[in-house]
Chain A
Amino acid sequence: MDISFKNVSYTYQPNSPFAHQALDDVSFSIPSGTYVAVIGHTGSGKSTLIQHLNGLLRPTTGTVTIGDFVMSRTDKPKDMKALRSRVGVVFQYPEHQLFEETIAKDIAFGPKNFGVSDDVIKQRIDDILPTVGIHHDMLERSPFELSGGQMRRVAIAGVLAIKPEVLVLDEPTAGLDPRGQRDVMDMFYSLHKKEKMTTVLVTHNMEDAVKYADHIIILNQGKKYLEGKPETIFSDEDTLQQVQLDVPEVIQFLWKYEQKFGHSIPYNRQSITDIAQAIKEHIKEVGNDE
């Protein structure tokens, strides 16, 4: 489903002394099947933005369009349930989406609500569990008696079980151990590739943004600050630093390498092994010249 934001602003607690404008005239469009990363400083409006994608929030002014669903202050999709069965959101804190008494019921909640049969749900759970690193024998446990990272895994499983067309991830790796972070991000990426799933990732991890996204949107104090291809966005350190963002570590390292050795190795998402190879070739070349 194509996603478009047209002059979207959002104000929390409008018409009160506490009114706070969290989004300010944001416009962009994302063609179906894109992998977008939304980045920005603490409080820049990322979570507010993504809650518009499944109708949890509606714009104070402007229009959000997702496929055929149109949302504005006055328009609300007639069938909100249909929208939510097609747009799955993994929230920033997993506790906010766990509520059933067992893990099995929690994962089944979404698909059941959308009329998926028990057999199909069971099959989906069997398929999903290994990909999120949850053991079958945990299914009857309470989701509230889990470690933080285990809760995150269950919350992710619950959203995948809906089989959404648009997957929205609000810092999905926070709380996961390093192997879990890698596995889960690779899993999202392969879903994106295989099922052409439109993916919207909110992240503070610049490595992930540059590694997976086709397109990056930077928010700053509720406004769209910049958008573009990862390679372009991360080539301009000053522009990023103005909004307190960092360049991915690998790019920082390559810049320092250039300063020290006077030789540039451009970054185009190559693996660490390829970078090591490029360094080796350069060093050997210099050695042979001398």
Chain B
Amino acid sequence: MRQKLVEFRNVSFRYDDDGPWILNDCSFTIYENQSVAIIGHNGSGKSTIAKLMNGLLFPQKGQILIDGKEVNAQTIWDIRKDVGMVFQNPDNQFVGTTVQDDVAFGMENRGIAREEMMKRIEDTLTAVGMQHKRLSEPHRLSGGQKQRVAIASVLAISPKLLILDEATAMLDPKGRQSIMKTVSHLHEQDVMSLVSITHDLEEVMMAEWVIVMNQGEIWAEGTPRDIFTRKDAFHKIGLDIPFVGKLTEALRRADVSITEEPLNHEELLEALWTFHSKT
């Protein structure tokens, strides 16, 4: 059995004492080395969960444990060493005057030796394809370049828990895939759990586990395959299913009976082949 890394126990949260509850009695667990996608409509509470995970916010009710330690004012400094987070808008997190300084910053704070630092700067910037912008100012980059650099900066600290809050939203599909591959590659080498908050269905498919948020509550949890079979309910809460699921549905409406739940092109073509051999 894998070790628990993040545990939310009946967490409720609101931004103002007299404001509405933003999260309502949320409980879930993320294990060591697991990759989890959090999805849900705009305003459902995903970024709030992310900020609770690294102690930028504290819950009014319930408990949050990271690696067995409760997140509170005393433990956050320790906990943040293990948690790397990329925000929705990378402008909010650049600290260096150049791209390479920015990548170095997090490592300096963690007392990583200079030689090792140089190596990691080189490695992570190469991994995200931003070597050529090493000496640029972060705020002078294009939208997608900013996201790549922000990801490099957290990868460099090799956190135990990596939280990507829509960190690839400005990338093209290829770029997004290659970055997610880089991340999951690291994740196989080191012990690292990955939480990706995303509206991108392809990214969801790459996760082992999916948490679906709806109006501050956990609406469902499961593997991508389980989750995407709940098509009708999905539309109601502002979400959608991938292309393959939509085409499968349309085929069924046209009386092409497909019994399985294909997840990718190959599985759907295979199912069509089976159907075609039977007619």
Contacts and interface: CB of A to CB of B under 8 A. Distances in A.
Interface of A: 12-13, 18, 41-43, 46-47, 92-93, 95, 133, 145-150, 152-153, 170-171, 174-182, 204, 206, 244-246, 249-250, 252-253, 256-257, 260-261, 272-273, 275-277, 279-280, 283-284, 286-287
B265 interface: yes
Contacts of A280: 251, 254-256
A22 to B, nearest CB: 8
A260 B253 contact: no
Contact of B41 (A152, A179, A246): A179
Given A149-B43, A177-B238, A276-B251, 17 more contacts: A42-B142, A42-B144, A147-B42, A175-B42, A176-B42, A178-B201, A179-B240, A245-B174, A246-B173, A250-B243, A256-B265, A260-B273, A276-B256, A277-B254, A279-B256, A280-B255, A286-B276
A287 B199 CA distance: 40
Interface of B: 15, 40-43, 46-47, 88-89, 91, 129, 136, 140-145, 148, 166, 169-175, 199, 201, 235, 238-240, 243-244, 246-247, 250-251, 253-256, 265-266, 268-269, 272-273, 275-276, 279
Contacts of B142: 42-43, 46-47
Contact of A43 (B91, B145, B239, B269): B145
Nearest to B144: A42
A147 to B, nearest CB: 5
Contacts of B170: 42, 92, 171, 174, 204
Contact of B246 (A41, A260, A272): A272
Contacts of B256: 276, 279-280, 283
Contacts of A178: 199, 201, 238-240
Contacts of A283: 256, 272, 275-276, 279
A47 to B, nearest CB: 6
Contacts of B144: 42-43, 204
A246 B172 contact: yes
Contacts of A170: 143
Contacts of B41: 149, 177, 179-180
Contacts of A174: 166, 169-170
Contacts of B272: 257, 260-261, 279, 283
Nearest to A149: B42
A41 B42 contact: no
A284 B275 CA distance: 10
Contacts of B89: 93, 95, 148
A46 to B, nearest CB: 8
| Most B-side CB within 10 Å, residue of A150, A179, A180, A256 | A179
A284 B243 CA distance: 23
B42 A272 contact: no
Given A95-B89, A204-B173, A180 B273 contact: no
Contacts of B42: 133, 147-150, 152-153, 175-177, 180
Nearest to A13: B140
Contacts of A279: 251, 254, 256, 272
Nearest to B92: A95
Contacts of B201: 178
B91 A275 contact: no
The binding surface of chain A is classed by DSSP as helix
Contacts of B253: 273, 276
A47 B88 CA distance: 19
25 contacts: A12-B140, A42-B170, A42-B171, A46-B142, A47-B143, A93-B143, A95-B91, A148-B42, A152-B42, A171-B143, A174-B169, A177-B40, A177-B239, A180-B42, A244-B174, A245-B172, A245-B174, A261-B272, A273-B253, A280-B251, A283-B256, A283-B272, A283-B275, A284-B279, A286-B279
Contacts of A12: 140
A282 to B, nearest CB: 9
B279 A179 contact: no
Contacts of B46: 147
Contacts of A43: 141-142, 144-145
Nearest to A277: B254
B276 A253 contact: no
| Most A-side CB within 10 Å, residue of B41, B141, B143, B276 | B143
Of all A-B residue pairs in the complex, the 10 with the closest CB atoms, nearest first, are A149-B42, A287-B279, A42-B144, A178-B240, A276-B250, A179-B238, A148-B88, A204-B172, A174-B169, A92-B143
B84 to A, nearest CB: 19
B243 to A, nearest CB: 5
A272 B261 CA distance: 17
Nearest to A205: B173
A272 B252 CA distance: 12
A175 B246 CA distance: 22
A273 B47 CA distance: 35
Nearest to B141: A43
A95 B142 CA distance: 15
Contacts of A257: 269, 272
A93 B47 CA distance: 16
B224 to A, nearest CB: 15
A12 B136 CA distance: 12
B214 to A, nearest CB: 11
